[in-house]
Structure formats: C-alpha cells, structure tokens
C-alpha cells in the first residue's frame, strides 16, 4: 500500500511516500538529506543530482530547506534597501547590460546627497540595511566611497551598510571596513576558471575574484559570493563546482539568481536560467549552510511573477527591493525586462511586503545580521 505523507508541502505537492509505513526515498532525496546533515556529496554525485533531480526531489529539498530557515530565522524575512548608485562600469562582462562596451546604456551616477536621500526614505519606510551597488565606476574613488559610507553610518548608526562595487585591493576593502561598511557582496560568478574565461574579458580572472572574497572575509565583512543559474556554457558539473566552492568558502551570504539575457550584450540570444533550477539550488545552498543570508533575487521575480515568493518557500530569507529614485532605475538594466524599473520606491516596496505577508511570512524592521551559532 502506498500512502502519501500527510504534510502538505510548498506548491501543493507532497514530497515523499510511505510504503507499508516505511518512507521510500529516492537516491536523490537521500543525497539531499545527507547534505542537510552536513555530508557533502562528491563532485560527480552533486553534478548527477543537479542534472537529474525530479519535481518531487525539488519539492522535497524546498520543504527541508524551508524547515531549516524557519528553525533559524522563524518566519522573518529581512529587507535590504538596494541603491543602484552608478551604472558606469570599467568592466566588460559579457552577460551584463551595463558593460562598458554597451554604447546604448544611458549612464548616470548619483550624488552623495541623492544616496543619503534614498537612505532617509528607506529608514522611515523600515529598512535597516542599505546596499550600495554599482558598476566599477572609477569616479567613485576610495575617498568618495569612504565619505559616503561614513555619512550613512553617522546618520543611521543602527543600520548596516553593504557594498557591492566589485573587485578592489585589500587596502581599499580595509578602508571601507574602517569607514563602517558591514557587508560586501561579490558573486564569484562561476568557480570554474574555463567557464569564468567564457563569461569575462581576459583582464578579469577567477583568481582575483576569489582573492577579493578572502580579503573581505579576513577583514571581518559579512561576505557574499554567488552565481547566475543558467549562465551561458554552464553545465551541471560547473554548478556542482560552485556548490563545493561555496561550502568551502563558508560565506555569510549567497546571491543566486537566474541568468537573463540583455539585448545589447554578446549573450543576447542565449536562453535564460530556469525557475526550477534556481529554486532547487537555493534549497541546496540553504541545506549546505543553514545560517546563510539568502536573498530571493529580483532576477527570480523577473522570470516569473511571484518568483521571489517561491524563492522564500524554497529557503530564502532576504529580499532586496530597489529604493533608487524612479528616474534612474530604468537605466540600471543588467538584463531585459527587469521588474520594478517603472515603479516608485514606495510602490515596489509595498507590493513586495504584501506578497510576503500573503505567503505567511513577516517582513521585519531589523538589520538582519548573520546569526551567531548559539542563536541558531
């Protein structure tokens, strides 16, 4: 006799079955369970899992991942106010809509006062983390970044500041840290050097990217790495390498969203990553690193309406709504059809709050730091 497990799992599916009272798990589900116990599969096993998971396996992973996140964070979802303060970039990453050789991108940079005004609006709306993200814009020298970070920390001492401004020297990171920056987001993009070389121009290397991440961790930043899911040339083996890299690095944050093509890049005709793969990998990352701060990204919300909510149900516990002024956000087009580009900050924020409440989770007014081991 086969009887379904009584627990209703996300998306209305049931994840596993009892056969004569004994839970009957697939090999993939046993692997997923092993990951949740801290036992990492080999590269080949992980690649097999990524290439061969079924819808049931995905729902199984999501239910375990959500249970894990609920145990550590309760039903709290942390909000980060994302300020996309410049779209000038000296880099030429092949996937990115603000790459330097995109002559059609209309370039902008915000002033210090405009950035502070975003924080002022964000603070009264309930944000306690501000994420300054931008292209690698040489105008924003270390002096300018230090001045802005110091000004934010002085006016909002109870808030965390996250920087996401690319590859810098250790000395630069140290200066940002001394100015009060708390966190740094720098996706590693792919842990495989050959794959890295197919996504980036020759002057950029995985080696330097990884050096940056180690410097950030050494300097005491809460550090985030991550990758796009479904980027051109990506294979299940490369994703398995990413997971093993993430496990070993043990960062406090992981940024993971689908690749989406941009019409003015060399990857304009490539396929976007899938919702299913992104959700599955979010769940695996949550199980690998239970305490990790894991955003449900805007890119996930872009490929599927409600994608961010599914990301939360798959184990994410952070969202990063855009709080940049309406007139600039349409120019920060990393990929096509990015959501929220036509909205006012209050609208996109309010919609996301309501969406999160509607799935039974609680948007909270907190800095939302990486939890200490004892808290988890």
Given the rule CB under 6 A, which residues bind ligand SAM?
95-96, 133, 135-136, 164-166, 186-187, 189, 228, 257, 259-260, 262, 299, 334-335
- Least distance to ligand SAM, CB of residue 95, Å: 4
Smaller CB separation from ligand SAM, 136 or 142: 136
Task: Output 63 or 333, the one with its CB closest to ligand SAM.
Answer: 333
Minimum Å gap between C-beta 239 and ligand SAM is 14
Nearest distance in Å: CB 138, ligand SAM = 12
Q: Tell me whether residue 23 or residue 337 sits nearer to ligand SAM (CB atom).
A: 337
What's the min distance (Å) between Cβ of 149 and ligand SAM?
Answer: 16
CB of 133 to ligand SAM, least distance (A): 5
CB of 78 to ligand SAM, least distance (A): 19
How many whole angstroms separate alpha carbon 249 and alpha carbon 63? 25
Q: How far is the CB of 301 from ligand SAM (least distance, A)?
A: 12
Beta carbon nearer to ligand SAM, 155 or 194: 194
Quick one: 135 or 311, whose CB is closer to ligand SAM?
135
Shortest separation between residue 197's beta carbon and ligand SAM, angstroms: 16
Q: Report the C-alpha gap between 173 and 62 in whole angstroms.
A: 35
Closer to ligand SAM by CB, 16 or 221: give it. 221
156 versus 259: smaller Cβ distance to ligand SAM: 259
- 3-state SS of the chain is CEEECCCCCHHHCCCCEEECCEEECCHHHHHHHHHHCCCCCCHHHHHHHHHHCCHHHHHHHHHHHHHHHHHHHCCEEEECEEEEEECCCCCCCCCCCCCCCCCCCCCCECCHHHHHHHHHHHHHHCCCEEEEEECCCCCCCHHHHHHHHHHHHHHCCCCEEEEECCCCCHHHHHHHHHCCCCEEECCCECCCHHHHHHHCCCCCCHHHHHHHHHHHHHCCCEEEEEEEECCCCCCHHHHHHHHHHHHHHCCCEEEEEECCCCCCCCCCCCCCCCHHHHHHHHHHHHHHCCCCECECCHHHHHHCCCHHHHHHHCCCCEECCECCCHHHHCCCCCCCCCCCCCCCHHHHHHHHHHHHHHCCCEEECCCCCCCCHHHC
Nearer of residues 206 and 334 to ligand SAM, judged by Cβ: 334
């Amino acid at each position: 006799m086969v009887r379904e497990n009584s627990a209703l799992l996300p998306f209305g599916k049931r994840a596993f079955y009892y056969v004569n009272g004994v839970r009957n798990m697939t090999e993939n589900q046993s692997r997923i369970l092993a990951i949740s116990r801290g036992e990492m599969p080999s590269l080949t096993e992980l690649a097999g899992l990524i290439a061969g998971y079924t819808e049931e396996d995905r729902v199984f992973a999501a239910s375990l991942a959500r249970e894990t996140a609920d145990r550590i964070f309760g039903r709290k979802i942390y909000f980060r106010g994302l300020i996309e303060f410049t779209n000038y970039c000296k880099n030429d990453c092949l996937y990115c809509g603000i790459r330097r050789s995109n002559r059609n991108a209309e370039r902008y940079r915000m002033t210090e006062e405009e950035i502070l005004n975003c924080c002022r609006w964000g603070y009264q709306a309930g944000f306690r983390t501000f994420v300054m993200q931008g292209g690698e814009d040489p105008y924003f020298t270390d002096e300018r970044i230090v001045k802005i970070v110091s000004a934010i920390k002085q006016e909002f001492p109870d808030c965390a500041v996250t920087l996401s401004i690319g590859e810098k020297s250790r000395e630069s990171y140290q200066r940002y840290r001394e100015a009060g920056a708390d966190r740094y987001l720098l996706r590693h993009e792919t842990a495989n050097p050959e794959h890295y070389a197919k996504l980036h121009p020759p002057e950029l290397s995985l080696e330097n990217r990884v050096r940056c991440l180690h410097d950030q961790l050494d300097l005491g930043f809460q550090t985030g790495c991550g990758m796009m899911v479904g980027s051109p040339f990506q294979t299940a083996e490369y994703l398995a390498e990413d997971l093993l890299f993430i496990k070993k690095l043990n960062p406090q944050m992981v940024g993971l969203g689908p690749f989406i093509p941009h019409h003015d890049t060399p990857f304009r005709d490539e396929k976007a990553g899938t919702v299913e793969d992104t959700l599955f990998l979010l769940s695996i990352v949550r199980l690998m690193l239970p305490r990790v701060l894991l955003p449900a990204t805007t890119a996930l919300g872009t490929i599927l309406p409600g994608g961010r909510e599914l990301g939360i149900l798959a184990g994410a516990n952070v969202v990063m709504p855009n709080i940049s002024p309406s007139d600039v956000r349409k120019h920060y087009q990393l990929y096509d059809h990015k959501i929220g580009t036509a909205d006012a900050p209050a609208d996109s924020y309010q919609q996301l709050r309501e969406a999160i409440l509607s799935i039974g989770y609680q948007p909270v007014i907190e800095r939302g730091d990486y939890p200490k081991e004892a808290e988890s």
